[in-house]
Amino acid sequence: MCNNEKDFERLVRQQTSTVYSVCYMFAEDKVEADDLFQEILINLWRGFEKFRYESRPSTWVYRVSLNTCISYKRKRKISTSPLECAGIESAYDEIERSPQSKLLHQRIRLLEPFDRAIVLLWLEDMSYEEIGAIVGLSVKAVGVRLMRIREKLKKLQ
């Protein structure tokens, strides 16, 4: 295995829960979450050589994951060839167990994809600066967007 493959495998192992968190917010079920996970891995691999570490690896992984999920949901494209990555287990089951996360997931799924992405990043305790860097908004725009999203979520209660 060349260094590039080892580095990629290490990155994936470190970011598996991040990727599955994003998948969970966009998937209807475990099968779709697994499909999204595979699509994200493919896109991460395709872009790995071009990643120049100008941002943190986690920021890059979030950006690729969110863009992949949003595009996937737009196109409704389903991967037909399984991608295996040794030693990576599904985090979906772990997330799915919590009743609170199920309720939160149900409400967040009612939001538009871009708003879902922002909420997910906020729930991951990212700063407005980090969220802005990932989704391409200014810090002020992130704050305004989160305020509007909170209002939407309150109306859903």
Q: What angle do CA 42, 47, 53 make, to 5 degrees?
A: 130
Condensed to tens digits (0 to 9), the pLDDT of residues 141-157 reads: 999 999 999 898 888 76
Condensed to tens digits (0 to 9), the pLDDT of residues 74-124 reads: 776 444 344 444 444 445 555 555 677 677 778 888 888 889 889 888 888
DSSP class of 90:
P
pTM to 2 decimal places: 0.64
